Chain A
Amino acid sequence: MVSRPPTEGELVERARRGDGAAFGALVRDHEELAFRTAYLITRNAADAEDAAQTGLTKAFYALPRFRRDEPIRPWLLAIVANEARNRRRGGGRREALALRAAHELPSAPADPAGAARSPEGRLLAAEERGELLAALEALGDDDRFVLSCRYLLDLSEAETAEVLSLRRGTVKSRTSRALERLRAHLEVEA
C-alpha cells in the first residue's frame, strides 16, 4: 500500500495540535514567496528574513484562529507582510531591485515575427525592462505594493487583498489607478 503525502488540511490539523514538523512541512512551499513578499516591502534582505522568520513563527501560534476552509498561503503571507511593514518603518537601508543582465535574458521570447531575439533585441528589451522597473520604483508605496503583489509576486486579487489588508474591490481600483500612474511615468520618461 502506497501512502500519499498529507494534504494541506491534514497538515493544518496536525500543526494546530502543536506538531512543529507538520507546520514546517506546511510552510515549506511558501517560504520563498513569504521571503519575497517581505523583501518587496522592506527592501532589505536582513529585515525580510527577520520578518518572514518572525511572521511564520507567529503564524504557528495563531493557527487556532485560522479558518479551516480557507487557503493557508494568503493567510501566511498576510502575517509576514504585517511583520515586514513593521520593519520598514525602522528606516533601515533600502536595497534597489535588480534585474538579470541582458545576456542572461531568454534568447527566444516570441516576437511578432516568431523569430529568435537578436543580441541587439535583447539589449533593447533589457533597457525597456530597466525603464519599467525605474517607473515602478518611482510610484508611491500604495501603488507599488499593489502592483508588486499582483505582478511581481503573481498573487490573485483575493490574495493581494488579504496581504495588504484591503477590500478586494479596493485592490481592483487601486491596481487600475496604479497602472495608469505607471503608464504616465513611462510616457514622461519616454
Chain B
Amino acid sequence: MRELELRLAELREELVFPRTPRFELRLDRRPARIRRPLVVVLAAVAILAAGALALSPGARSAFLELFHLRGATVTLVDDLPEVESIRTLDLLGERVTRDEAERRIGFRLLDLGEPASIRFREGGIATLVYGAPDEPRLLLTQARGGLFDGFIRKSAGSGTEIVRVSVEGDPGLFVSGADHFVMFRNAEGAIDDELSFLAGTTILWNRGELLLRIEAEMTRAEAIELAQSVR
C-alpha cells in the first residue's frame, strides 16, 4: 500500500490544474446563506395520529428504525398522519427573554447571532427564531438529549433523504426532501403529543449532552456550516 501512496503523491506533481484566478473578494456585502424564506409548518391536528403511531404496538411494527443520535431517533414509517397545517410558532412554546429561557432550561443557550425571538417549551426545549416573526427563516432548537423523535415517510419516491453527517466531529443527521414528522419526548421519556409537527430540511446533531436542531431552507453543506457556526 505504501508504494501506491507514493505513486499518488507523485501524481500530485504531474497534475495540470486550471490556473488559479486572482480573487477579488467583495467584503462589503455578505453572501446570501439561505436563499428562500422558510415557511414553518406546524401540524395542529396530527396529535392523535402521532400518538397512535408512537404508542400502538401494531403501528410500531410497521416502523423500520433507521438512525440514532444520543437522545434522538429517526424512524421510517409507512405513512405520515394526515395533517392540517397551520402557520404559527405558538406550538414551540411561549415567547420568553433569553435570561428567562436560560434560567428555565438550565444551560447557556447557543446561537447563530441574535435571534428575532426565543420560544420555550415546558419540558426543556428552547427554540431560537431567526427572520421575520411571521415568516421565520431558520429555527435553532436545543434541548438536553432524550427529547426528540423524527418520523420519516418510508415510501419510495417520497424524496426524503437522510444522510449521516459530522459536525466538528460530533454525529448528526441531515434530513432533506419531503417533509418529515417530528415529535418531542417529555422529561419522563413519553412522546409529548402537543409538540409534534411537520418539518422541512433539518440538521440535528449532538454536542456534548445537548441535542441541537436547525430547520431552514438549506443544502447539506450549508447545514453543516450553519451547525458548525452555532456557538
Contacts and interface: CB of A to CB of B under 8 A. Distances in A.
A8 B17 CA distance: 27
Nearest to B18: A45
Contact of A65 (B1, B23, B166, B229): B229
A60 B5 CA distance: 35
B11 interface: yes
Given A35-B20, A49-B21, A86-B222, A129 B14 contact: yes
B4 interface: yes
Contacts of B167: 165
A39 B225 CA distance: 19
B33 interface: yes
| Size category, A interface | 35 or more
Interface of A: 20, 23-24, 27, 31-32, 35-36, 39, 45, 48-49, 52-54, 56-58, 60-62, 65, 78-79, 81-83, 85-86, 89, 95, 97-100, 105-106, 109, 126, 128-129, 132-133, 136, 147, 150-154, 161, 165-168, 170, 176, 179-180, 182-183, 186
B47 interface: no
Interface stretch (B24-32, B36-44, B55-63, B124-132): B24-32
A151 B15 contact: no
Nearest to A85: B221
Contacts of A61: 30-31
B1 A86 contact: no
Q: Does more than half of chain B's interface fall in helix, strand or loop, or is it mixed? A: mixed
Contacts of B166: 165-167, 170
Given A57-B26, A65-B231, A152-B15, A83 B20 contact: no
Contacts of A35: 17, 20-21
A133 B11 contact: yes
B31 A57 contact: yes
| Chain A interface mostly | helix
Contacts of A129: 7, 10-11, 14
A52 B12 CA distance: 20
17 contacts: A20-B25, A23-B27, A35-B21, A48-B18, A53-B24, A57-B25, A65-B229, A85-B219, A85-B221, A97-B15, A98-B15, A109-B10, A133-B11, A150-B8, A151-B5, A170-B166, A179-B4
Given A39-B18, A132-B11, 9 more contacts: A23-B25, A27-B25, A53-B23, A60-B25, A95-B18, A97-B16, A151-B9, A165-B165, A183-B4
B206 to A, nearest CB: 13
A171 to B, nearest CB: 10
A61 B5 CA distance: 37
Given A56-B23, A98-B15, A62 B229 contact: yes
A21 to B, nearest CB: 10
B164 to A, nearest CB: 10
B208 interface: no
B220 interface: yes
Contact of B11 (A79, A89, A109, A151): A151
Q: Which 9 A-B pairs have the closest CB atoms?
A: A82-B221, A151-B8, A45-B18, A20-B27, A98-B16, A32-B20, A35-B20, A85-B221, A99-B14
A86 B219 contact: yes
Contacts of A166: 166
B5 A179 contact: yes
A105 B27 contact: no
A161 B25 CA distance: 26
B33 A58 contact: yes
